[in-house]
């Protein structure tokens, strides 16, 4: 299984393009890619990484290195958005609700250790 984002992206490209060896600076379109394959690749990258990257990213970043970097940035944005949503929900809790939640998390963590 691929370890890095670049390896994941290259594996997806390889499958979509039917090309075994893909370098980090190879251009998707120069390797025979076209808009329909780009749509499939973006869909697979999004599914694999659990992100929502727009199709235009494939045209703006047509190399493995570029697309992997864009995917990493999208992952970071997604994580930041999720964190902000969680913090917003937490800030809406009363002190009593926050204490109950904290206690239930501590109890749950201690039970899983035993």
Measured in degrees and rounded to the nearest 5, phi and psi for residue 28 equal -55, -45
Among candidates 57, 59, 56, 80, which has minimal Cα distance to 70?
Answer: 57
Superfamily covering domain 5-82: ACP-like (1.10.1200.10)
For the segment 68-114, what is each residue's pLDDT rounded down to a tens digit? Answer: 999 999 888 777 777 777 778 778 878 888 788 778 877 666 555 45
* pLDDT for 103: 81
- Residue extents of the structural domains in the chain: 5-82
């Amino acid at each position: 299984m691929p370890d890095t984002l670049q390896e994941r992206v290259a594996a997806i490209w390889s499958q979509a393009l039917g090309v075994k060896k893909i370098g980090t600076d190879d251009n998707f379109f120069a390797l025979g890619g076209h808009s329909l394959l780009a749509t499939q690749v973006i869909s697979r990258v999004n599914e694999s990484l659990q992100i929502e990257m727009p199709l235009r990213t494939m045209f703006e970043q047509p190399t493995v290195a570029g697309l992997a970097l864009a995917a990493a940035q999208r992952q970071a944005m997604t994580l930041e958005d999720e964190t902000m949503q969680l913090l917003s929900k937490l800030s809406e809790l009363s002190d009593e609700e926050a204490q109950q939640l904290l206690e239930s998390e501590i109890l749950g963590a201690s039970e899983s250790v035993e």
